[in-house]
Amino acid sequence: MHTFDRPTDVSADQARVRVRPERSALAHHLDASGITGDVATPRESNLSHIGRFLSQERQFDFGVPLTQEWTEESVFDLMVDRVGISGDRDFVEGVDTISAQKCIDSVDRMRAVLREVVRSGGRVLFATGHPAGLLPVHQAVVAWAQKSGATVVGVDVVLRPEPVWVSAPVGGDVRRMNGVHVWHQHGGVPHTHFAEPMLALLERLRADDQQMPDLVVADHGWAGAAASVGLRTVGYADCNDPALFVAEAQGQVEVAVPLDDNVLPQHYEPLIDYLVGE
């Protein structure tokens, strides 16, 4: 496996100077680490989640309403085009793929949006439904955004210390960890596709008369819900997350970056360097 000389603890090294790698080196690393190429997300999951999203099933809709006519075939074609899953319709079981080139193209677009908002001193909100994988990635971008002049916004425990409760049947509450919002329940911060935590957070911001963010950087239902209420949104999505790619096609999400969203956090370091490095 091709590796970069990077620390194993992403969050502990957010303040270091980041040097942007060459595109070819990043593509090699993405495939070698399983972020792209042959990924751990199986074909069966990719196909079944298309149908579950189109049925607007909770946890699979990501808070994204259907504003166009979609079929399983048209969403499948979209995932081939935007993500790089196999286009073989007879392939229904086994290892599927994500294109490194499509991933990097989307990261380029995300980078342009981030730099536009951050350099203008904009307000940015960060959130993740994959704390075991993407939380350190978001935290590193938070550190860069603050250093570069942005205002990172969200739960203000000084203004109002009580929890941001998420309504039933989801439950739990929203917490902010080094600038990144997560969903907390029963003493842990679980993986979630729910849109409700973001909706609860936005309701708290409105109740506290806080200005809405100029940009949301997120994933899963955090991104889908933000985009669906009209906030400028960019985010990450796996090959079994059709909701955000449909939202991108519908003009709700500005950029959806295809990648495996739950590899070991240290493997994302070169991707972070490419996103925010000079």
Give the domain range for residue 162.
11-276
Question: What average pLDDT score do residues 194-198 get?
Answer: 98
Those residues whose C-beta lies under 8 Å from the C-beta of residue 116, and which sit 6 or more positions away, are none
Within-domain flag for 4: no
Q: What is the pLDDT of residue 174?
A: 97
Peptide bond before residue 65 is cis, with ω within 30 degrees of 0: no
Within-domain flag for 89: yes
Within-domain flag for 6: no
- Tally of structural domains, the chain: 1
Question: pLDDT tens across 129-186, in order?
Answer: 999 999 999 999 999 999 999 999 999 878 888 999 999 999 999 999 999 999 999 9
Of 1-10, 85-94, 100-109, the range with the lowest mean pLDDT is 1-10
Within-domain flag for 116: yes
Q: Tell whether the model's pLDDT for residue 125 goes beyond 90.
A: yes
pTM above 0.85, yes or no: yes
Token pair belonging to 72: 């399983």
Within-domain flag for 215: yes
Which is it for the CA torsion 107, 112, 116, 118, positive or negative?
positive
Nearest 10 degrees: Cα torsion 206, 122, 226, 165: -40
Q: What is the CA radius of gyration of the chain?
A: 18
Domain CATH for 97: 3.40.50.10490
Q: What is the pLDDT of residue 157?
A: 79
Within-domain flag for 97: yes
Question: Which residues of 53-207 form beta strands (DSSP E)?
Answer: 95-98, 123-127, 151-152, 164-165, 173-177, 180-184
Those residues whose C-beta lies under 8 Å from the C-beta of residue 252, and which sit 6 or more positions away, are 64, 67, 224, 227, 228, 233
Question: Which residues of 74-193 form beta strands (DSSP E)?
Answer: 95-98, 123-127, 151-152, 164-165, 173-177, 180-184
Q: Tell whether the model's pLDDT for residue 7 goes beyond 70.
A: no
What CA–CA distance (Å, rounded) separates 4 from 7? Answer: 9
Question: What average pLDDT score do residues 252-266 get?
Answer: 98
For 61, other C-beta atoms within 10 Å of its C-beta total: 23
Those residues whose C-beta lies under 8 Å from the C-beta of residue 178, and which sit 6 or more positions away, are 11, 139, 142
Nearest to 127 by CA among 228, 210, 202, 238: 202
Q: What is the pLDDT of residue 159?
A: 83
pLDDT band, very low/low/confident/very high, at 5 (cuts 50, 70, 90): very low
Q: What is the pLDDT of residue 193?
A: 97
Question: What average pLDDT score do residues 183-207 get?
Answer: 97
Within-domain flag for 2: no
Within-domain flag for 124: yes
For 161, other C-beta atoms within 10 Å of its C-beta total: 8
- Burial state string for 44-54 with b = 16 or more CB within 10 A and e = fewer than 16: ebbbebbebbb
Question: What average pLDDT score do residues 83-96 get?
Answer: 97
